[in-house]
Chains A and B, each alone.
Chain A
Amino acid sequence: MAPAAAPHKSVFAVPPLVRAVFDAFPLVTYPACPAPARCPPPSSRPRLYAWSTPAEARKPGGGYSFDPECLKWQMYLRFCGVKFTTVPSNSSACPSSSGGLPFLIPPPPPPPPNAMPPSPPPPPITAPKLVQWARSRSQHGRGEDDDGDIERGDVQAFLELLDNEIHDAVLYTTHMHPPNLHNLTVPLYAPCAASTPLLRPLMAAQLRAAALARLRRPHPGTLDRDSIFADAAAALDALSMLLGADSWFFNGKAPGLLDAAVFAYLNVILTAGWAEDWPGGLGWAVRRRQNLVAFRERVHEWCQGGVVDK
């Protein structure tokens, strides 16, 4: 289908004389300016950008994020023994290819020894690829039996349970209930609104509309609060039964992604201080399962006394 004429005779080719002139440019290359003072200094540690408050992020080890998804990845990195810093961030900082927080910026590779130009900085790692990256950097030796851990059907099924039923109930509690929306969610997810009172109703409406759209997907009819929380309570019962008396889920020797995810949701449910003014909320459903509360306490102590360091 190409025309018969050869491409190099095309009208738009630059004549060689002109090309020789342009090859002389740039005439002078100035040395690079130093980065602005506010730029984070290049650190050897990977940086995890997550929803967090500055006070929480300054704690040794990075503290706990208030968003279940971010906290899940924080805990998974800790379980893998990866040392990282948590950077409080928001959804405007996300790289375009990803859906949202959290994402991780790996440390730059060491400069090559024979004075070649430094390799370009590595791209940010978004949540779907974080598992592989964490495994590859893991300090602990992960045995053969752990390699198939995440891909097991059972693990996938229970992760879906957390992502669907329990996540929906958490979203309802934080975004659809006006006291929680205005007192907790907007100050945490939109801290800009604290300084400008005019922004507060706008951000509240935006957050609520996004949550409603997200909740409408699995519930195309009316949003029935009782059924959402009944499903979440059944899901928590199922998790409690799965855990039984073991230390880690599926009686594993070491914690995995499911443990990280369950801890993330339990921590948010138990420590967020929500107002749940209806019978059968998430706090009630968790507190009646002692093994879940004990699990959360155990992992919290593991975090305090374990690998955490500055």
Chain B
Amino acid sequence: MMELHIWGPAFGLPSIDPECLAAIAYFRCIPDLNPPSPTSKPWRIVPSSNPLLSPTRTLPALRDEHVWIGGGFNGVVEYLRKKSDGKWDLDIDLRGENTNGRQYDDGGDEELPAHAATSYTWAESVAYSSFIRSRLGSLLDISLYISEVNYANATRPEYSKSGMLPWPVQYYVPGQKRAQAWDRSEEVLRKYGLGPADVDPIRVLDSPASSGLETNAVGAGVGTGSEFGAGKGPGGVSSVFGKRPSASIAGVVFKLQTLILRSLTPVAARLVAADADPALGFYFFKREHPTSIDCLILGYLCLAIYPELPNPFLAEGIQELDGGRDGKRVCAWTHEFRKKVFGSTPIDGSKILNSENECPDAAEGILPWGKVESADLPWLTGQFASAAAQYIDGWIPSWARKKEEKPKKPETEEEQERRLKLERAVRKDKAARIATVVVGIGAFIAFLFSSGIISVVSLAEDVEDVEEELEEMEREEQEDLEGSQIDASSVTAEDLFDFFPAGAGGEGRNEGKDEGGERAGGDEDRGPEKGNTEE
């Protein structure tokens, strides 16, 4: 049972990532792997959204029994080709017999070999794959991630609403993907003289006062134009409040359209037949069955056309290709191929991710969904450990590392010396990196202790402290007692009679003295003494 791990479903599509969509389409195009229902398919789609499962830390990844295959779309395709000895290779007749190109080693004949035409198509397939990944990939990055409006209102909610990312990953992974998208498209934007903030203000064309806002596609999803209308937009391009679009905004619109045109015209030209001749095939190379390039194109175009975005410049740009003619045909091609491969009903992400049964099936059983493993403590520990390991950059755990092949031919002295020197250099490099991390952690702990955030108190000191405290208490008590004794020494002899009265007479004599008369100084002495003894 093969498991295809992908990023989760979004926008009604099986995945939010174009390479994952292409991988699903590739699996769906192989006839052997898609027997007519009700036979269950020998593969499953698991929307785990966990790139750490793959040896190369990217999705899509394939798991065949206990073997993990990384390398993204190319890796998965290569593995299927090897596993089936070429039976599951959609490009098999594109390559022709030219699997290792021996016939070109002799230099060219004037007359090209008969199957050179098919080999040329394989070369085109390689070139266009690279073209689509970089150009259409940049456009998707700009549309889904760089555009503030789209990211905040459409893309980011897709990550959270269906629950494709468990805790705590849901808080930082979308931001990570956005940062990667910024890195990738920075060059493209700079080449066209656009900044990241220029992507959005193209929708601010009418003020709230004019009637244009109701027909403006922005209105429904984003709220009133006053969010953008008050003062300057996010990048300093001032809004046009009740005025016609200024030159700068029109310039931005033009540049984005040029970008879309240059990226999509070559692809559109291949997808649509000039005469709409039904004899020609439907697919990119005009054959009867799809190839890997068709899957890639479908993956990228689906994410360009189908998501409903507040700033739909990409979808509109595609529809306007060649004055709308090519655009309509491209959209029709995408629609038909998508129906064939993913089914016509939009996919409900939350239903698939939260379903209890082993094989939650949506969309009339077209796509074989599998169950995602639950995010429990071992998984969480694994996440942290992998993140820590990645800081020692390039470190791959041994279970994921591919076996290095030893060179087969006997090495000369020189080559062996070079290889040993190289290994030593690599080991030194790695040791330096690990030492940096260890020293850093040690310095941090030392700082914690030195600044007093953590203080170490040993047991022996505890006991000493307690003894000291006891001694102090005793000393204080003694002082108190001495204090009271010192007070007692000022008592006169007469006062002693108060303490020790000699029978009743003493009492009578005391009372007589009190009632009788006053004695100089005695009463006063006694008064306070009496007060003291009463206390």
Contact = CB atoms under 8 A, between A and B. Distances in A.
B184 A217 contact: yes
Contacts of B426: 178
Interface string A201-244: 00000000000110011111111101100010011011111101
B349 interface: no
B277 interface: no
B422 interface: yes
B130 A235 contact: yes
Contact of B135 (A160, A212, A294): A160
Contacts of A160: 127, 130-131, 134-135
Contact of B131 (A157, A222, A246, A290): A157
A161 interface: yes
A221 B58 contact: yes
Interface in A127-159: 128, 152-154, 156-158
Contact of A289 (B75, B101, B116, B405): B101
A240 B98 CA distance: 12
Contacts of A294: 107
Nearest to B241: A1
Contacts of A93: none
B130 A165 contact: yes
A164 to B, nearest CB: 5
Given A222-B396, A238-B122, A241-B98, A217 B104 contact: no
B400 to A, nearest CB: 9
A199 interface: no
A157 B58 CA distance: 25
Interface residues of B, number: 59
A177 to B, nearest CB: 8
B57 A221 contact: yes
Contacts of A275: 418, 422
Contacts of A288: 101, 105
B123 A241 contact: yes
A53 interface: no
Contacts of B422: 178-179, 275, 277
Nearest to B107: A290
Contact of B419 (A234, A246, A277): A277
Contacts of A290: 104-107
B54 interface: yes
Contacts of B418: 275, 277
Best-buried of A218, A219, A226, A245 by chain B (most CB within 10 Å): A245
Given A224-B71, A227-B74, A245 B110 contact: yes
Contact of A128 (B58, B108, B183, B191): B191
Contact of B266 (A153, A178, A244): A153
A237 B105 CA distance: 12
A237 B127 CA distance: 11
Given A158-B127, A161-B127, A220-B58, A291 B51 contact: no
A279 interface: yes
A99 interface: yes
B130 A227 contact: no
Interface in A263-310: 275, 277, 279, 288-291, 294
A114 B477 CA distance: 114
Interface string A243-255: 0111000000000
Nearest to A289: B104
Contact of B70 (A178, A224, A238): A224
Contacts of B108: 244-246, 291
A99 B98 CA distance: 40
A153 B265 contact: yes
A231 B133 CA distance: 13
B339 interface: no
B101 A99 contact: no
B109 interface: yes
B51 A221 contact: yes
B143 interface: no
B122 A245 contact: no
B254 interface: no
A128 B51 CA distance: 37
Contacts of A164: 130, 133-134
A290 B134 CA distance: 29
Interface string A102-129: 0000000000000000000000000010
29 contacts: A153-B270, A157-B127, A158-B127, A161-B127, A179-B421, A213-B183, A217-B180, A217-B184, A218-B133, A220-B57, A221-B70, A222-B56, A227-B74, A231-B74, A235-B127, A237-B101, A237-B126, A238-B122, A238-B127, A240-B104, A241-B98, A242-B127, A244-B120, A245-B108, A245-B110, A279-B405, A288-B101, A290-B104, A290-B105
Interface of A: 99, 128, 152-154, 156-158, 160-161, 163-165, 178-179, 212-213, 216-224, 226-227, 231, 234-235, 237-242, 244-246, 275, 277, 279, 288-291, 294
Interface of B: 51, 54-58, 70-71, 74-75, 98, 101, 104-110, 112, 116, 119-120, 122-124, 126-128, 130-131, 133-135, 180, 183-184, 187, 190-191, 262, 265-267, 269-270, 393-394, 396, 402, 405, 407, 418-419, 421-422, 425-426, 429
Please give me the 7 A-B residue pairs with the lowest Cβ-Cβ distance, nearest first: A245-B108, A153-B266, A221-B57, A238-B123, A221-B58, A157-B127, A238-B126
